[in-house]
């Protein structure tokens, strides 16, 4: 897997903006492979534009999900999960669901990307389904809803923008009180906010730029039948957008979480 620096990596060689310099981020991960677990941490660091020491990562399969860990964090983020589905029950799922509900009860800022988006939605009363017919892999156009245009995080996005993604599961029904912010040409619920709470989810990968997404494609190619054909695989690689508005989404979210509370 390539580890050459991206533009975002170069940006984060410097200290984050003062408002974020002391922010403590709890990153919840569900990754079986150490290389991708570390890569995911790097991706969140790059897109949040924070230092590595500001992120504490926990692994749902082996680390205890003690609610007291929230006392040592300002923001919670939940990443993807190449080997797991938000539609299935795992031994650690009740503890994760309880933790997300406690986050909502506290009104604590939280952001879920891809699987994290689905996990937050399911924990707070929404519904997640496996839907291979509407799987999205590669780069595709997203559109803001009317609520998205007024949202403090998405409000500066253009009406139509590109996002990089890869998923077979999707949120078919949002939790009660959630606000749909982004849709695609084939499905809704691409991004949501939990009412007036600073809790967001995006079905697309908000922590991945094109180069990082290519790393994931190579690593998880066997998980996606769509990527088996060489011509299709190459075309999807080439379709990824090098720079989109999504590249600054996590940083914008953190700034809003700090300054908008």
Active site residues: 114, 205, 207
- For the chain, give percent helix, strand, coil, nearest 5: 40, 25, 40
Taken in order 99, 83, 183, 49, the sign of the CA dihedral is positive
Q: How far apart are CA 199 and CA 86, in angstroms?
A: 18
- Cα 98 to Cα 5, 64, 65, 120: the distances in Å are 37, 12, 9, 11
**Helix H or strand E segment including 94:** helix 93-106
What's the chain's length in residues? 261
Q: What are phi and psi of 247, to 5 degrees?
A: -60, -25
What angle is formed at CA 27 by the lines to CA 22 and CA 50, rounded to 5 degrees? 35
Q: How far apart are CA 174 and CA 77, in angstroms?
A: 19
C-alpha closest to that of 87 among 132, 46, 50, 43: 132
């Amino acid at each position: 897997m390539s580890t050459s620096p991206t533009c975002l990596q170069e940006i984060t060689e410097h200290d984050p903006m003062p408002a974020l310099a002391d922010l403590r981020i709890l990153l919840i991960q569900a990754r079986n492979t150490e290389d991708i677990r570390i890569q995911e941490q790097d991706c969140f660091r790059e897109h949040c534009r924070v230092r590595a020491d500001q992120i504490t990562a926990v692994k749902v399969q082996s680390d205890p999900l003690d609610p007291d860990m929230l006392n040592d964090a300002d923001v919670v983020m939940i990443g993807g999960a190449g080997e797991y589905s938000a539609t299935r029950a795992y031994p650690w799922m009740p503890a994760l669901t309880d933790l997300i509900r406690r986050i909502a009860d506290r009104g604590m800022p939280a952001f879920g990307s891809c699987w994290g988006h689905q996990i937050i939605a399911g924990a707070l009363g929404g519904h997640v389904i496996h839907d291979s017919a509407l799987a999205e892999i590669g780069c595709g156009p997203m559109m803001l809803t009317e609520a998205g245009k007024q949202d403090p995080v998405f409000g500066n996005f253009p009406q139509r923008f590109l996002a990089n993604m890869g998923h077979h599961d999707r949120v078919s029904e949002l939790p009660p009180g959630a606000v749909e912010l982004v849709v695609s040409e084939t499905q809704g619920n691409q991004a949501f906010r939990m009412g007036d709470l600073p809790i967001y989810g995006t079905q697309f990968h908000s922590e991945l730029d094109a180069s990082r997404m290519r790393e994931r494609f190579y690593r998880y190619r066997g998980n996606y039948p769509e990527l088996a054909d060489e011509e299709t695989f190459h075309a999807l690689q080439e379709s990824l957008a090098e720079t989109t508005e999504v590249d600054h989404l996590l940083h914008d979210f953190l700034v809003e979480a700090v300054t908008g509370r």
